[in-house]
Amino acid sequence: MQISSLNKKLLEHIYAEKLQNNCKVYFHELFSIKYLFILFFSLLVSTCKAQINKVYKNTFTITTDNDAYLFTSKDGYYTNGIFFQFSKAFDKKNLKIIKRIEVGQALYNSRDRLSIIRQLEDADRPYCGYLFTKYTREKFINSNQLLGYDIEAGVTGKWSLGEQFQSWYHGNIGVNNFKYWAMQIPNSFGMNVTARYASTMASSDKQYQLFKIVPIAEATFGNFFINAKAGAYFCMGVFEKNENSVLFNARISSKKESEFLKKEFFVYAYPQLTLQGYNVTLQGNLFNQPKDTTVFTATPKAFVFQQKLGMLYATRRWQGRFEMVLQSQEATTQRNPGSYIRLQIGYSY
């Protein structure tokens, strides 16, 4: 009994000593990581906060969205988007104004291409192609407040070239196409108007901010989309005030000499809640709803939550964005949430 008691005390002592050593190693590694992070961030600030005086008046960006970038092989819901945007800066009464022209195409399918082809399940979201052009005007009321509007015109159905583009693309990469495009939202023309407001709620006072929160509210009305959205950017890194930041694609100026940070580099989270009133990609044209019983339509969910996690980098002429988007079900028929990756590159001149 005495030997057993001694062994027990010895084991307890060894265990306590081992635990103490493990804690020391853990905290040593933790502080090492902390100091490395502080060093990295300090170097980042010192390189980014350098000023440049020569700026550019125009920016051209290309954006691509695709769930295939997640390597899930699902190819469903919002499955592909491609957008080309030209932006030009103006100055009116000493306020910065940016005007933009954009053309793009978005494709929507059901959940899982392979399950559909193997007839393991039916379509759970309407098929739709959406081809559009959009004019945007944004005015910066001050360095951190933005007021803007969009006027958008678009088409659905075969006019959108959605089925044609996906069939061509899948054929070139040796992938079977979806079989339900015959049920797609039919040909239709529509217009929408969107109003938007953004303002920084919390940030540092320095020009090279390290953290900021930027709430954004917008509303859209038309015969294709009716909705209201509210969200906020939570940014951490090195970035400009909103009127000069890559966050709003605003690293351009009509003034020949303007002070910009040499670089911007930051990460962000952007949670957003959407109140859906109408959605053409689910229901067809508001004023000419599909009467053909072969067309698959669905009822939109009242609320859609979307979470974006991304990273932005910008230097003199170039800018880039990497963003992962997670979205709850848009339609009552949808089995699962959706997700995709957004990649963007821009060039100023």
pLDDT tens digits for range 231-264: 999 999 988 899 999 999 999 999 876 778 888 9
Report the predicted TM-score, pTM, of the whole model to 2 decimal places: 0.83
Work out the pLDDT band at 192, boundaries 50, 70, 90: very high
Domain ranges of the chain: 1-48, 54-348
pLDDT for residue 10: 53
Query: Domain 54-348 in CATH: superfamily?
Result: Outer membrane protein (2.40.128.140)
- Is 275:302 a contact under the CB 8 Å cutoff? yes
pLDDT of 119 above 70:
no
Give the pLDDT score at 30.
42
CA distance 306 to 271: 6
Say if residues 328 and 306 touch (Cβ distance below 8 Å): yes
Of 173 and 338, more confident: 338
User: Going along 200-242, which residue ranges are E strands?
Assistant: 202-203, 209-222, 225-239
- Distance (Å) of CA 151 to CA 97, 102, 341: 16, 10, 26
